[in-house]
Amino acid sequence: MGNYSQIDTILRNATHAKILLLDNNNLQFYYQYEDVLPKSEMFAPYDLVLIPGWVQAEYAHHARKSNYISNIPVPTYVIDEFEDYLPLLEYSDLKLLALFRLSSVHSEALQFFGRYRHLHAEELPDDWLEQFYDHGFTTKQTNTRITKKNAGEVSLVTLCFCLLHHYHTQIQHLTIASTDFGIIKIKDRVLQESQYAPFYGCFSAHPPISFLSTDVSIYRAVKQGTLAIQDIPRLRPNPKSAQYIQHHADYTSTLHSHVLTLDQFIVICNDTDNYTFIF
C-alpha cells in the first residue's frame, strides 16, 4: 500500500522541508552503531525520512532493523515504487521510465530499457514497471527472501528526482543517505540529461541534493561533539572512497577525491575546522 497521500499532506504546504532518503547500507550502519550514533542525533536535522519500497524489501525480514525504523523520531514513510512514484510525476510514464533508465547502470536494466526507450506513452505496456523490477536486476532467491542487486539504489535516486519534480518549491534540500560512491555520478547524469525530452528542464540544481555517507555521518558526529575520536576505528576500520574539501589559510580550498585510510580519516576528524566532508 502506498503512502503518497500521507507525504503529500505533510509537504503540500511546506516551504523549507528537509528530507532524508535512506538506503539499506546506511540503515545497517546506524542500526549497528546506535550506541554511539543515537537516533535522536542522526535524524534530528530532518523533517521527514523516506524509504523506497525496494530498500524496505532488503531489511523487512530483520525484525530489529524494522523496529529501529519504526522508532525513528521524525515522520518516516515507505514509498512504494508501483503506487507512489507516478503521482509524483503527474502520472507521466515516460518521465518515470526515463528516470529509472538514467538511474540504472547495470547491464540487465540497460537491456530492458533498450526495448522501450523510443516508445510513445501509449505504446508502453501497462505493466512495464513490474517488468522492470522482474527483469532489470540480478535476482537472488533464498528460502526467506528475494534480493535484487542495485534495486534499492536505483529506487532511491529515482525517488529523489520524483520529489524534486513534485515539491520543488516546498523542499529546502534533499539528503541521500547512501554509501554507494557511484551515486554521485548518477545524480549528475540525471541533472545533465534533464534538459532533454521528456523532462525539458523540469529539474535543476535547486533545491540542492546532498549526500550523507557513513563517513559524513561519523565526521558530523565528531564535529558536533557527540562521537569521540577513539570510537572511529570501530566504526570505520577499512579504507573507503571519499570526497572532501581542504580549506587553506589564504581562503582557497582543494577538492580531494580518493581512497581514504583510517589514519588519514582520523587526521581530518581531528581538524574539522579546516575540512568539509562531501561523501
Ramachandran region of residue 200, left (φ > 0), alpha (ψ -120 to 50) or beta? left
Q: If you average pLDDT over residues 141-165, what whole number do you get?
A: 83
Lowest model confidence (mean pLDDT) among 115-129, 136-150, 177-191, 246-260: 136-150
The model's confidence at residue 182, banded by pLDDT at 50, 70 and 90, is confident
Residue pair 179/213 in contact (Cβ under 8 Å)? The answer is yes
Strand, helix or coil at 217? helix
> Cα–Cα distance between 143 and 260 in angstroms, integer?
38
Instruction: Kindly give, in sequence order, each residue whose CB lies less than 8 Å from that of residue 17, ignoring residues fewer than 6 positions away.
Output: 10, 11, 47, 48, 167, 170, 171, 172
The model's confidence at residue 14, banded by pLDDT at 50, 70 and 90, is very high
- What pTM value is reported for the model? 0.90
What mean pLDDT is reported for the chain? 91
